[in-house]
Structure 1
Amino acid sequence: MSLKYKAIRAAFEVLWAARAPALMRRLSSCRGVIFTLHRVLPDEPRAFSPNGILQIRPDFLDYVLERLRALDIDLVSLDEAMDRLKAEKPGRKFAVITFDDGYRDNLVHALPILRKHACPFTLYVPTAFIDGTGELWWQALEDLLAVHERLTVTLDGAEQTFEARTTEEKQASFAELYWYMRRAPEADRIALLTSMCEFYGLDLSAHCRSLIMDWNELRQFSSEPLCTIGAHTVNHYELAKLAPEDARIEMVHGIDVIGAQFGKRPRHLSYPLGGPLSADDREFRIAGELDLDTAVTTRPGGLYRHHLETPMQLPRVSLNGLFQNRRYVDVFSSGAIFTMLGRVGAG
């Protein structure tokens, strides 16, 4: 675990021991929180699993929903959350459950639990992923490093070798390559990923198909009364790295394809990756021109009445796979804590 996550865990322990979450829920003007989830899997991540932060166990999801209700926090849809923000006086606290990317395990492992708790939720899907043509580059990079003792790639015109014999070497190589890809223009990232996968024998289309639902599977969600299907662009590109018109096309086409598939235009959008490096004021302005009700980021924080003025940049709190400790659910439930932590991180 990195120093960053060790520090967060230590902060969670202090907050929980001090009973700060309960106090902040009572005293804060925060009305609710939107949770970000990705994968729900019963198996523990392998020793080398940098993307393990994106997965939680079914039993932990079950407990989260149970505990939120025990704390008198209502589980509501995004639409109801926005309606509650419009009320002059705050009512009961609420939580919204959202999933990004359309992983098949959402259908297999998450949906039965959501139904058990009658929990509304939003599923944000990038349409190229559902088509089976998307590139889950972060997972592909992990999977390549997991099975090879070294990767040799060309970066900035020079051949470089990344050692991956031990877990520590794999983690270091993943971090360096991950951030190289995050900084690279999308076209360069795609070219690098494609060349790596071709050389080391990873079929990107089959990789996508093995992890992500197809349209027939997704229809089980479209007919589910608890589910709201939201847009997540077409290719899951970092929109801030694209030219303005290309960013707009990614959003518009993602919305249009879902509307054509299900006969209902999505009213909610999630920005891929969702942090300041991936979506900022320009993207918020574009989303505001697309007749959407909300758009969510991954910037941490709770929901306040003032978010009615900025519905295209709503914060979320990640249910991170590294923090699947039952007592931390009380911390997660307090959006005000994450608003405070977000301000500290931005300072």
Structure 2
Amino acid sequence: MSVAKNVLRKLLYGVGMFGLIHRLRNRHTLTVFMFHRVLPKQSAEYQAAEKEFTFTVEGFGQCLDFIQRHYGIVSQADVTAHLNGQQRLPQCAGLITFDDGWRDTLVHALPELKKRALPAVLFLATEVVDLQANDWWQDVLVELIAQEGGLSRMESAIEALRASALDPDKKSVLVGRHQPAEDYAFRLRRVTATLAAMDESQRQAILQPLVSRSPGARQMLNRADLDLLRPWITIAGHGHSHAPLSHHPRARDDLATCRAQLQAIDGEDTVMSFPHGAYDQATLQQAQAAGYQVCYSSDPTLVNTTRSRSTPTPGQTLLGRIHIPENEWTCDENGIAAEKLATFVFFRTIEQ
């Protein structure tokens, strides 16, 4: 059955049926593509990277070719102007975005964008450009959590620090042990938010005894790198510490610090995406109060470009994004399969 399905899918794409459906169905939509990392397949960095969020350079180029073939690519400035009623977007509009601030966005993704003259947006967790450690603490955390019992070990380490904390302000940002009714995702977000609220030395004191890594090159962008991204990549916000803001004990401060940093580097200080896709109504209100007018979620929906923008709150817009992986959903044995990628993105729900 799966073989017949794949043959049919390839045939429908090959004769242009999928493309025709896309041009009709999605003509008044904006598809916001979400990427994270781009690395050479044979590199040690790729072998160690979290594959769900990592593209090979070759696969990324194939994906860009597909996107350029089927979408009218726009910049964040175009999107902002559209939302302000100043211009229309092209039919089947597309916006390319990256999250976090990985240095491979500059080293490997940017050259592929330049080859095709494609603009993009980087949602930068502004803290990363000033971190001293070469390994990003959240990547270290991912490695730890992947180990058996890793999350429980992390919670125990935080609880030990909490018990020894003498400063009430520091103690207040540290979570205790989880309750039996809490699910795994909630626990992970809470631990991540707790670490994010610490300073770098506190995080390292917790993580280093739990995860052993050989010294490597810097993973994240630094301040000097940011100018090299321009003019192709616009820099917007992704929180300061990359905490899941709905769980952050000081989310308002994190949002304000991120915006101040964006202003200092001449970024788009009224545009952000929510780290980990974590938000709730309170987070939206905090983001608006901090001055963010355009917020992107990780909700996998296509943006309806005919919709009047009066929600979630006056003066603020929330837009969905589609996470694109390089895996069995989008690939065959030869790499990115256009017919698979088409079915992955063309038929997503269009917001009402």
Tell me, yes or no, whether TM beats 0.5.
Answer: yes
Matched with 1:236 is 242
Matched with 2:21 is 23
- Aligned-partner Cα distance in 1 for 2:285–2:20: 36
- Aligned-partner Cα distance in 1 for 2:153–2:57: 37
Partner SS state of residue 266, structure 1: strand
Matched with 2:337 is 326
User: Where do residues 1-347 of structure 1 align in structure 2 (5 Å cutoff)?
Assistant: 19=17, 22-28=20-26, 30-43=28-41, 51-71=50-70, 73-84=71-82, 86=85, 91-132=90-131, 136-144=136-144, 153=153, 155=155, 180-184=187-191, 186-187=193-194, 194=204, 197-200=207-210, 202=212, 210-221=218-229, 224-243=230-249, 246-260=250-264, 262-263=265-266, 266-274=269-277, 278-304=278-304, 305-306=306-307, 308-310=309-311, 311-322=316-327, 323-324=330-331, 325-327=336-338, 328-334=340-346, 337-339=347-349
- Aligned-partner Cα distance in 1 for 2:225–2:37: 16
Structure label with greater radius of gyration? 2
Partner SS state of residue 211, structure 1: coil
- Aligned-partner Cα distance in 2 for 1:291–1:233: 13
Q: Relative to total residues, which structure has the larger helix share, 1 or 2?
A: 1
Partner SS state of residue 210, structure 1: coil
Gaps of 5+ in 2: 160-182
Q: Residues 155 and 191 of structure 2 are in contact (CA less than 8 Å); yes or no, is this contact kept in structure 1?
A: no
CA-to-aligned-CA distance 1:276-330 (integer Å, 9 cap, x gap): xx21221222222333341111110111132633453210001113234322332
- Aligned-partner Cα distance in 1 for 2:241–2:7: 38
- Aligned-partner Cα distance in 2 for 1:266–1:333: 29
How many angstroms does 1:62 deviate by? 1.7
How many angstroms does 1:156 deviate by? 5.6
Q: Residues 270 and 295 of structure 1 are in contact (CA less than 8 Å); yes or no, is this contact kept in structure 2?
A: yes
- Aligned-partner Cα distance in 2 for 1:28–1:76: 15
Amino acid in the other structure paired with 1:331 = T
- Aligned-partner Cα distance in 2 for 1:265–1:83: 13
Gaps of 5+ in 1: 1-6, 160-175
CA-to-aligned-CA distance 1:251-300 (integer Å, 9 cap, x gap): 1111101212x2455231111111xxx21221222222333341111110
Partner SS state of residue 312, structure 1: strand
1:269–1:210: structure 2 CA closer, same or farther, 3 Å change rule? Answer: same
Partner SS state of residue 283, structure 1: helix
How many angstroms does 1:133 deviate by? 5.3
- Aligned-partner Cα distance in 2 for 1:82–1:140: 35
Normalised to the residue count of structure 2, the TM-score between the two structures is: 0.71
Q: Residues 16 and 331 of structure 1 are in contact (CA less than 8 Å); yes or no, is this contact kept in structure 2?
A: no
How many angstroms does 1:143 deviate by? 3.8
Matched with 1:170 is none
Percent of pairs identical after alignment?
A: 20
- Aligned-partner Cα distance in 2 for 1:284–1:16: 41
Q: Residues 317 and 332 of structure 1 are in contact (CA less than 8 Å); yes or no, is this contact kept in structure 2?
A: no
What is the aligned residue count?
304
Normalised to the residue count of structure 1, the TM-score between the two structures is: 0.72
Partner SS state of residue 96, structure 1: strand
Amino acid in the other structure paired with 2:261 = V
1:66–1:29: structure 2 CA closer, same or farther, 3 Å change rule? Answer: closer
